[in-house]
A and B are shown apart, each in its own frame.
Chain A
Amino acid sequence: MKTEKNRGRKKQAEYKGLFTALLVLTIVLVLLALCIGQYRVSALDVIKIFVSRVRSIPATWDVQAENVVLNLRLPRVIGALLVGAALSVSGSVYQGVFKNPLVAPDLLGVTSGACVGAAAAILMHMNSWGIQIFAFLAGILAVSITLLIPKLLKNTNITMLVLSGIIVKGIMDSVLGLMKYVADPETELQSITYWQLGSLTKVLPSDLMATAPVILTGMMVILLLRWRINILSLGDREARSLGVSVKKMRNVLITCATLLTASAVCLCGTIGWVGLVIPHLSRILTGPDNKKSVPVTILLGASFMVVIDTLARAMTSMEIPLGILTGLIGAPFYIIVLMRQRMKLS
């Protein structure tokens, strides 16, 4: 008994160690991201700039540096943190709730739906606020249709929901294709394509003010319910016999995950692979227990996105769309994940 207790404690300590290491890593990466770019700022200056906001210290850095760090890079870095965390954690939720480790946020059609909303707003020459609201509404609409199809068919089977998501995604992608076809190739097409590939270049503090509260609230609810995802992943009957009201719990979790995905799309357009790969990576590190893997997913997703965004803006003199980078890094990584899973199974 004593050895079991010690083993339990040791595992808990291991997890705490991992979590702390990731937290430190995230902070270091954020600092680096603020330093790196066309205009280099030293890490010490970045720290001093932040300290100067709360305490008056002699200014030993350029005014230019302060402007670059606080006004240009900081919103992007915060945006990257939020988007990475939101997409990854919503991936975790979908994978758990649908009992399917190969599922991602775009499964429910939210990503495609939000993209259609954004494109529609661009075609109607709306400002960035309009684009955000439209993307958000269309994302919610897409999910509602995805959830409605199984209900209409009176088939509440979980595979039916997955199929329904594929149908909605197909429709949304076609609608988007149509919009691109009719868009003005000089101006609108470029904007839509830009949105589709994903970028954090245009993130403004005002965008963050609008989406951050939604992302943080949704993430908080998921964090509080994360252990229940384990139970849902055992199946409806199992969960019910363990006293969980399956429908309610599942709806709350899907709603939160969808809000997170839609908000991420609002900030940066569509970015694939993150929501699929990061939850897998955290499960490799912590095991499948969501009590441990969800917090790790948040940190990993956030730091991964910061790295990707820094690469996107600093690797070449031209911005590389994020979706391209996550695809190039995420897709091969996914093969490794699948190989690992196969090895485990056999």
Chain B
Amino acid sequence: MILEVENLSYRYRKASSPILRDVSFQLDSGEIMTILGCNGAGKSTLLNCLGNVFEPISGRIFLGGEDLRTMDLRKAARMISYVPQNHTAVYSYTVRDFIVMGRAPHLGILQSPGEKDYEIADQVMKELGISRLADKAYTEISGGERQQALIGRAIVQQPKIILFDEPTNHLDYGNQLRMIRLVRELAEKGYAVLMTTHMPDHAMLLGGKTAILDREGRLRVGKAEEVINEKTMDEIYRIKVKIVYVPEIERKVCVFDENAAVGKEK
């Protein structure tokens, strides 16, 4: 197992109640896990704990069998990389310069990137089809392009695990599907991918593991088709949905069921 989480709990302030309670799951290389949960449930918090940004109050995280708590920061950054939801920079670094920053955990403290590191960055930009952005300023490209640059930086880090925080959030309809495909491709290349999303249908589209973070901060993990059903969706989002099989696309989809809600009110 490349990622093992055991009884992880987290709270923001000492007095407050925990936002994550006894979260446990495992993820192997090439696997995808989609995390669903309402706004404020703690999805991003969980990613921040895994990304070594927040320190959990209890529980453990193992990266490749090694405890994250005792792990060197640079070593951890070589194992796991994080694509935040929306990030802006103060300085207008070129996309190339921005992406090459992903090499930091592979370089000594006093080193700066050399020709090889820039080659890695160029290669990744080519694979993502964003070579045309290389000399553009990171602060002047669109939100979607900025996300591509962030993904590029995450790949340049050459990690084993990639965390995505709501990667489809600011994307148009077409780009959402392209993002889903990219996540799938990354998993096929052998990365363990963990992503949060607000779209149950995205989880069903991706298959793999799906986790539901409920309002108490507990995580339920299972296969997408098992975990996503009318009952669990009602629990987390407090709305009615229908899971229906669409023969034309040969899969189940998750759609709103407004009639049911209206019916209930009557």
A residues near B (Cβ < 8 Å) are 1, 4-5, 7-8, 96, 99-101, 224-228, 230-231, 233-235, 237-238, 240-245, 283, 287-289, 291, 344
Cα A227 to Cα B104 in complex, Å, equals: 9
Shortest Cβ gap from B75 to chain A (Å) = 8
List residues of chain A with CB within 8 A of the CB of B113. 227, 291
Q: Does B168 contact A (CB under 8 A)?
A: no
Between B74, B93, B94, B157, the greatest number of chain A beta carbons within 10 A of the residue's beta carbon is seen for B93
- Among B73, B84, B119, chain A packs the most CB atoms within 10 A around the CB of B73
Residues in B with CB closer than 8 Å to A231 are: 101, 104
Residues of A close to B92: CB separation below 8 A: 287-288, 344
| Contact status A243-B73, CB under 8 Å | yes
Q: In the complex, A78 Cα to B102 Cα: how many Å? A: 39
Kindly provide the distance from the CB of B2 to the nearest chain A CB, expressed in whole angstroms: 17
Bound Cα distance A237, B93 (Å): 18
CB-based contact B53/A237 at 8 Å: yes
Query: A225 and B126: CB pair below 8 A?
Result: no
* 9 tightest A-B CB contacts, nearest first: A243-B77, A227-B112, A243-B105, A288-B91, A243-B74, A242-B104, A241-B82, A224-B110, A4-B122
**B residues touching A (Cβ–Cβ < 8 Å)?**
48, 51-53, 73-78, 81-82, 84, 87, 89-94, 96-97, 101-102, 104-105, 109-113, 115, 118-119, 122-123, 126, 131, 134-135, 137, 140, 157
Kindly state the separation between the CA atoms of A52 and B137 in the bound complex, as whole angstroms. Answer: 51
Q: Closest Cβ of chain B: how far from A340's Cβ, in Å?
A: 12
Option from B77, B90, B123, B157 in Cβ contact (under 8 Å) with A1:
B123
A230 contacts B76, C-beta separation under 8 Å:
no
Kindly state the separation between the CA atoms of A1 and B119 in the bound complex, as whole angstroms: 9
Complex Cα–Cα for A101 and B89 (A): 12
- Interface contacts (Cβ under 8 Å), in number, total 90
Find A243's partner among B104, B111, B123 (CB 8 Å cutoff): B104
Q: Is the CB of A241 within 8 A of B77?
A: yes
Task: Quote the shortest CB–CB distance from B142 to chain A (angstroms).
Answer: 15
Residue of A nearest to B74 (CB): A243
| Contact call A5/B84, Cβ cutoff below 8 A | no
For the complex, what is the distance from the CA of A16 to the CA of B69, rounded to whole Å?
43
Q: A1-B123, A230-B93 are in contact. Are A243 and B109 (CB under 8 A)?
A: no
* B-side contacts of A227, CB under 8 Å: 111-113
The reply to whether B77 and A226 form a contact with Cβ atoms under 8 Å apart is: no
Per the bound structure, the CA–CA distance linking A8 and B97 in Å amounts to 11
Cα separation A4 to B95 with both chains bound (whole Å): 13
Give Cα A56 to B156, complex, Å: 58
B123 cross-chain contacts in A, Cβ below 8 A: 1
9 other contacts beyond A4-B134, A237-B48, A241-B52, with CB at 8 A cut-off? A4-B126, A8-B122, A226-B112, A230-B101, A243-B75, A243-B78, A287-B92, A287-B97, A288-B93
Q: B82: which A residues are within 8 A, CB to CB? A: 241
Query: Nearest-CB distance from A159 to chain B (Å)?
Result: 13
Contact assessment for A241 and B122 in the assembled complex, using a CB-CB cutoff below 8 Å: no
| 11 cross-chain CB contacts under 8 A | A1-B126, A4-B131, A99-B90, A100-B90, A225-B110, A227-B113, A240-B73, A241-B81, A243-B77, A245-B73, A287-B97
When chains A and B are docked, how far (Å) is the Cα of A238 from the Cα of B98? 12
Would A101 and B104 be within 8 Å (CB), given that A4-B131, A8-B122 are in contact?
no
Closest to A240 in B: B53
Most buried by A among B48, B104, B123: B104
A3: nearest chain-B partner, CB-CB: B131
Cβ-defined contact, B122 with A5, below 8 A: yes
- Nearest CB on B from A217, distance (A): 14
Distance, CA A8 to CA B96, complexed state (A): 10
Cβ B109 vs Cβ A225 within 8 A? yes
Q: Distance (Å) between the CB of B211 and the closest chain A CB?
A: 21
